A and B are shown apart, each in its own frame.
Chain A
Amino acid sequence: GAVVSQHPSRVICKSGTSVKIECRSLDFQATTMFWYRQFPKQSLMLMATSNEGSKATYEQGVEKDKFLINHASLTLSTLTVTSAHPEDSSFYICSAPSRGGVDPDTQYFGPGTRLTVL
């Protein structure tokens, strides 16, 4: 199946700094990517939909100025957590639906990024 990578897998940063997370579709083009946040023992919470060549669509309650999303190419979306605080510590996962092919609905997840803000 299609492969989605994420980088870094783990990051520890100081409060007030910014962290960038990359999500790449390795063998298919993704005009849309999704960014989720997952707290321990909870479900995946959709933060925003990243659209190639246009602005991201944020879910209600997600601060667009704090979580900056850029989808500059058909294979790369980035999420930047600006002025990170300890409450931003979480597991961030991206996903992308694979267009065309046998299963156009199937969504492929990246391996996730564990963010810890000290």
Chain B
Amino acid sequence: GENVEQHPSTLSVQEGDSAVIKCTYSDSASNYFPWYKQELGKRPQLIIDIRSNVGEKKDQRIAVTLNKTAKHFSLHITETQPEDSAVYFCAASHRGSTLGRLYFGRGTQLTVWP
């Protein structure tokens, strides 16, 4: 099955700096890559996603890049704010498996210091 690796496990940045979280996947058939933000005790919230026919996607301060050849994708947060502090999960899925099944990375605890 799919294996998703995520790094780093923890990340601390100063407010205003950028944060980058990287993930790799193993199954070349994966074609959908969402990123979730989870605050303590809350549900994961989809913040951005990308499909395999696109190399980059941006939504205000958040961007995701995808390199299909290398099988890795990254989350970029610019101008970080304290409210960005949370755990971020990357995930991968593809239509060939159980429709909608997500394979998650281990998560990154992002802390933004004021």
Q: Do A and B bind each other?
A: yes
Identify the stretch in B57-65, B66-74, B77-85, B96-104 within 8 Å (CB) of chain A at 4 or more residues.
B96-104
With both beta carbons as reference points, the residue of chain B lying nearest to A97 in the complex is identified as B100
Q: A97 with B89: in contact, given A44-B44, A114-B41 (CB under 8 Å)?
A: no
Convert B25-54 into 0s and 1s, putting 1 for each residue whose CB lies closer than 8 angstroms to a CB of A: 000000010100000011111100101000
Most buried by B among A43, A49, A106: A43
Residue of A nearest to B44 (CB): A109
Tell me which residues from 83 to 97 in chain A have a Cβ below 8 Å from any Cβ of chain B. Answer: 91, 93, 95-97
Q: Are A43 and B49 in contact (CB under 8 A)?
A: no
Instruction: Give complex CA distance A114, B42 in Å.
Output: 10
- For the side of the interface on B, what is the size category? 20 to 34
Instruction: Give min CB distance, A12 to chain B, whole Å.
Output: 15
With contact pairs A111-B42, A112-B43 given, residues A32 and B89 touching in the complex (Cβ less than 8 Å): no
Closest residue of chain A to B6, judged by CB? A43
Contact A93 B49 (CB under 8 A): no
Interface mask (A73-110 → B, CB under 8 Å = 1, otherwise 0): 00000000000000000010101110000010111011
By Cβ-Cβ distance, the 5 closest A-B pairs, closest first, are A97-B100, A109-B43, A105-B32, A43-B106, A111-B43
Interface positions of A (Cβ within 8 A of B): 32, 34, 41-44, 46, 49, 57, 91, 93, 95-97, 103, 105-107, 109-112, 114
Q: A93-B44, A106-B46 are in contact. List 20 more A-B contacts (CB 8 A).
A: A32-B99, A34-B100, A34-B102, A41-B109, A42-B107, A43-B106, A43-B107, A44-B44, A44-B89, A44-B104, A46-B102, A49-B98, A49-B101, A57-B98, A93-B43, A96-B100, A97-B99, A103-B49, A105-B34, A105-B51
A–B Cβ pairs within 8 angstroms, 11 of them: A34-B102, A42-B106, A43-B104, A43-B106, A43-B107, A103-B49, A105-B51, A105-B93, A107-B34, A112-B43, A114-B41
